[in-house]
Structure 1
């Protein structure tokens, strides 16, 4: 399988509906003919692994799974290792070169590397351009010396983080593949010993570690053992060592080091002990107090004052900007603060952290991710640090959980039934409502129409009536048949979900621009910002555009499926509105092709229900077929017809 086929499989896995070759071609940036050829070859390959790709007339291609176990095994091999599989691919060569240089004790000649990979020197020189850029993000440089070759140079701590990323965070099988026999960082017996020592000590100290955190700590100590043997030691500032020396993490690190020194005949200098303590400080230390016990004690007594104040201020800022009503959620505050301490330590010491859920969070929980961005920007302004996108994603997970908890804690909606055809019919309607909607709906009672003016409605959410009610009531009225047809159920479901009527609440004809010719995201954002200003929705186009670009710099808003949803980092407009622009050709948007842009501006007064609005947006993001239809529209009437046809509102 080549890289394009893997991407095609990923896109087919991500959707429930058939996908047209034209859409896949735009996503992968090749021709439709190439896509059709790849799909044919991919289908032949998948047929041996429990799946097939079936054409669907006039709709595209669809993935069919015929043997679940076999197909899952294939997915694990393809995606869980996150490894390039084709030895002839540039990605494979770049990974090989980085690993090879990280493990080299001295200079390595390009000619030797070219021979090892069976490629030309010119090819290896081209690959090295990409390798340099990849290593620069870790603070690692490639040094060249005439007649000697190349080698890596950089701070020892950053070198170890790089080794962790490119060597140790892969399976042992993949780790050794294609490299020399001496490439293994540490023998499996020593890894087992290190794991056992760490496990014993974190249990003694009551440290809360996830499986990923436990694995990372094991990896970093294993790398430390290798580097100390080779004479490479971390050089921490004396102030940092002093800060750690009195910490509980330092005591745990000393115990871990003492046991490892005894078993492996190694000597760890104090700087190395502080280095391990630094990794321990990147995880949660909470003395086993959690859940309801933590809430009973109270976050202000349980948490460090500085972290507690930061957490409170962060949630207040998010509420101010997005009106999520989460600032008084004590469970969320505890969770955020417990996350902040290790997260800020990771940021302070430049510790790399991966977030495998990041793309999923951005696509499926955009409101929670936006809250994470706002929280991260507050931390940056307060602490003068740079919060990476991965950390924003982890903040979003905590906030998303709080938002889901709000839904669970929301009381059942209350209705009253108005029926003119007798007690029996009223009772039938009562029980049918209870049967259909269960605990989500409380039927407060039934009444005849003539008695309705005397029924108090102050604690009623809506009225269900079998006859039209001409009088204007203080709550919504749903007119239904006694036997409740499908359409009746949908209307009630919308009220329970808090949905508004199916009208264009957010789309305005004067802010829909189809089949444009822009070449960059900056051009699109500037154009739409000026149009919003011309529509008198925002006070200043320059300020608005600046805030949208600031949000893009914090975390790009291209969500895949050719869609980008840029928005200002804080709400600016007088009402919630979508300014929409489609393009004749996709443009590059932070590494992803984008052709459908929805510049989203939320009501700065917080009057709109953002969760519902984001739900509507996600429906577009998740449906390639709808996106393709909208991209072909040349008039607003066509655009509106497709929105209504697919019942997005």
Structure 2
């Protein structure tokens, strides 16, 4: 995010207001200020970003900028090579996918230049990754070693997931094989771009890159002696016009002949790709299921999701394609699922406990990361936002003009604008002061009489409206600070803290803390290697948060858990604010 701030300011070619920068980055004023402070603290000399109360922010030090971008590039490289992307585990899986028989730990160690102990310590993670692909199993033999059991088509899909960058497979193949794979991938990308554009079949950038890699993997594996057989239980659909056109074009540029079964798999993959710019296929049965999900959320939690029709239609298309992927064992690649668990605990919980039952499908972690962002925008509409009271005795047309300017600039940061004449305000002053914290007026005399009003000229320029935007930010920050303090006093007491020596498993832990909520309304997410988040809802009128620390870890989902945060929402107070506090505890951002 800090790199994004630098990039946005670099493209501004001058000063940029805090409000505009905040909107570009998609964060609150408080978060923006903290990020800019962190950026400047990295500089030994002159700050990289200059700030001015009136003008906003300016990217000042070009030399420091170049150094910052280079450092960020190195950091991103290291990050992508680190634990977060499971590089070692992906390399082990890729090696096994290109072996027909069992492979010993010693052979894996020699070929990947890992120690035997390193390979052994990576095995639980290898097993977890493989288990996420339906139809794939890791066979472990004390005598022979390891082997992945799966159909050839499933193995190709797994290769697509594990061979995302050259570092994932550079030790497994010759330079010639890697070069040919890279060339084919580029040629296929060019074909996809041309054919998709010509047919107005516009998929997301991520789906485009994944599909190109899948097709390059198909060619590579066939040429290395891993063909798809006609007996395989994979796709059985005749290729349509688009699939046939793609296959013809790819065969020309890559000098490769697709088998009939491969063509059928291409058709199946096309139907699963996430779309962006196209007339959405409105799935009426899926629309009905999504409406059932929204109704279920309201009945069980009291939260009324504001999902607009256009979002529902996009979701119906996405979830229908997701169901196809799940049924065929071709889940999306999920790189940010654990971050999602920290940042979007409410969305994750509602999808697990309310959408999965409606679909009668357990949503895989990798797919969850995509759905969360759709529903985050719907939940954001339910968030408490300030109302503006605008008092004016001017003409209706003048007022309309100002209203439009305010709505255009402040957008979804405000709930609404109420316009009344001054005489009405004087009659009901106490009521209006109680209901509206942000009050503006076009009447100068009123500003002199009441300091709580902000003056706004009927022909207000951008600077005036920007100042008003800063007032909105202050209100939001002050409200969250007050709310957070109340929640901390309520849930941060000694009663919510548990220090436990040892438990046998999660069920044993639940008994110890008397956690007795219905299992179908409980969602669980592991965060990192040692934390577990457990969330539930039931309308019993009382919220509760448990913070549990264990001296000895217990095993859950292949992780060794030493800390558990359990949040029970019982319908007490605002659900979104409650989960914002849970987010703070989990280490996400409010």
Asked if structure 1 preserves the Cα contact closer than 8 Å seen for 2:548 and 2:565, the reply is: yes
How far apart, CA to CA, are the structure 1 residues paired with 2:137 and 2:262?
A: 20
SS of the residue aligned with 1:233?
coil
Q: Choose the corresponding residue for 1:396, options 357, 360, 372.
A: 372
Cα pair distance change 1:198/1:411, threshold 3 Å: same
Cα pair distance change 1:440/1:179, threshold 3 Å: same
Cα pair distance change 1:396/1:126, threshold 3 Å: closer
- Structure 1: gaps (5+ residues): 1-13, 18-45, 49-64, 86-90, 291-301, 418-435, 466-480, 531-540, 625-647
Structure 1 segment 478-627 matched on structure 2, within 5 A: 503=486, 506-507=490-491, 511-519=495-503, 520-529=505-514, 541=516, 544-547=517-520, 550-552=522-524, 556=525, 558-559=526-527, 564-568=532-536, 571-583=537-549, 585=551, 587-588=553-554, 590=557, 591=559, 593-595=561-563, 597-603=565-571, 608-622=573-587
- Structure 2: gaps (5+ residues): 1-30, 35-41, 45-63, 393-409, 439-448, 454-470
Aligned to 1:471: none
SS of the residue aligned with 1:350?
coil
Asked if structure 2 preserves the Cα contact closer than 8 Å seen for 1:506 and 1:577, the reply is: no
Q: Choose the corresponding residue for 2:216, options 207, 217, 222.
A: 222
Asked if structure 2 preserves the Cα contact closer than 8 Å seen for 1:528 and 1:599, the reply is: no
Aligned to 1:252: 242
Q: Choose the corresponding residue for 1:317, options 283, 292, 296.
A: 296
Aligned residues: 489
SS of the residue aligned with 2:244?
helix
How far apart, CA to CA, are the structure 1 residues paired with 2:492 and 2:266?
A: 57
How far apart, CA to CA, are the structure 2 residues paired with 1:233 and 1:380?
A: 32
Determine if the alignment matches structure 1 residue 68 to structure 2 residue 62: no
Q: Give the CA deviation at 1:400.
A: 0.6
Q: Choose the corresponding residue for 1:278, options 268, 271, 283.
A: 268
Asked if structure 2 preserves the Cα contact closer than 8 Å seen for 1:111 and 1:121, the reply is: yes
Q: Give the CA deviation at 1:346.
A: 0.8
Q: Give the CA deviation at 1:314.
A: 2.1
Structure 1 segment 71-86 matched on structure 2, within 5 A: 71-81=71-81
Q: Give the CA deviation at 1:350.
A: 0.6
Q: Which has the larger radius of gyration?
A: 1
SS of the residue aligned with 1:597?
strand
Which deviates more from structure 2 when the two are superposed, residues 335-344 or residues 397-406? 397-406
Aligned to 1:429: none
Q: Give the CA deviation at 1:365.
A: 2.2
SS of the residue aligned with 2:578?
helix
For residues 34-82 of structure 1, the C-alpha deviation after alignment (integer angstroms, 9 at most, x for no partner) is: xxxxxxxxxxxx999xxxxxxxxxxxxxxxx994223202212112355
Asked if structure 2 preserves the Cα contact closer than 8 Å seen for 1:191 and 1:222, the reply is: yes
Asked if structure 2 preserves the Cα contact closer than 8 Å seen for 1:206 and 1:285, the reply is: no
How far apart, CA to CA, are the structure 2 residues paired with 1:462 and 1:370?
A: 32
Aligned to 2:98: 103
How far apart, CA to CA, are the structure 1 residues paired with 2:145 and 2:233?
A: 35
Cα pair distance change 1:514/1:411, threshold 3 Å: closer
Q: Give the CA deviation at 1:353.
A: 1.8
* TM-score of the superposed pair, with normalisation by structure 1: 0.61
Aligned to 1:330: 309
Q: Give the CA deviation at 1:482.
A: 6.3
How far apart, CA to CA, are the structure 1 residues paired with 2:366 and 2:535?
A: 20
SS of the residue aligned with 1:176?
coil
How far apart, CA to CA, are the structure 1 residues paired with 2:529 and 2:109?
A: 38
Cα pair distance change 1:388/1:507, threshold 3 Å: same
Determine if the alignment matches structure 1 residue 412 to structure 2 residue 408: no
How far apart, CA to CA, are the structure 2 residues paired with 1:491 and 1:109?
A: 61
For residues 100-158 of structure 1, the C-alpha deviation after alignment (integer angstroms, 9 at most, x for no partner) is: 33234666566554444567778767766765665455414448698x98654421122
How far apart, CA to CA, are the structure 2 residues paired with 1:573 and 1:491?
A: 33
Cα pair distance change 1:15/1:150, threshold 3 Å: farther
Asked if structure 2 preserves the Cα contact closer than 8 Å seen for 1:103 and 1:183, the reply is: no
Instruction: Let me know the Cα RMSD of the aligned residues.
Output: 5.1
Asked if structure 2 preserves the Cα contact closer than 8 Å seen for 1:93 and 1:127, the reply is: yes
How far apart, CA to CA, are the structure 2 residues paired with 1:119 and 1:438?
A: 55
SS of the residue aligned with 2:546?
strand
How far apart, CA to CA, are the structure 2 residues paired with 1:197 and 1:276?
A: 14
SS of the residue aligned with 1:551?
strand
Asked if structure 1 preserves the Cα contact closer than 8 Å seen for 2:251 and 2:258, the reply is: yes
Cα pair distance change 1:160/1:70, threshold 3 Å: same
Structure 1 segment 307-386 matched on structure 2, within 5 A: 307-326=286-305, 329-381=308-360, 385-386=361-362
Q: Give the CA deviation at 1:215.
A: 0.7
Structure 1 segment 88-237 matched on structure 2, within 5 A: 94-104=89-99, 112-116=107-111, 131=126, 134-138=129-133, 139-142=136-139, 152-166=148-162, 168-170=163-165, 172=166, 174-177=168-171, 179-181=173-175, 184=178, 186-229=180-223, 230=225, 232-233=227-228, 235=230
SS of the residue aligned with 2:535?
coil
SS of the residue aligned with 2:544?
strand
Structure 1 segment 430-449 matched on structure 2, within 5 A: 444=420
Cα pair distance change 1:394/1:447, threshold 3 Å: same
Cα pair distance change 1:200/1:145, threshold 3 Å: farther
For residues 193-223 of structure 1, the C-alpha deviation after alignment (integer angstroms, 9 at most, x for no partner) is: 2112212221232223111100110011111
Aligned to 1:387: 363
SS of the residue aligned with 2:272?
coil
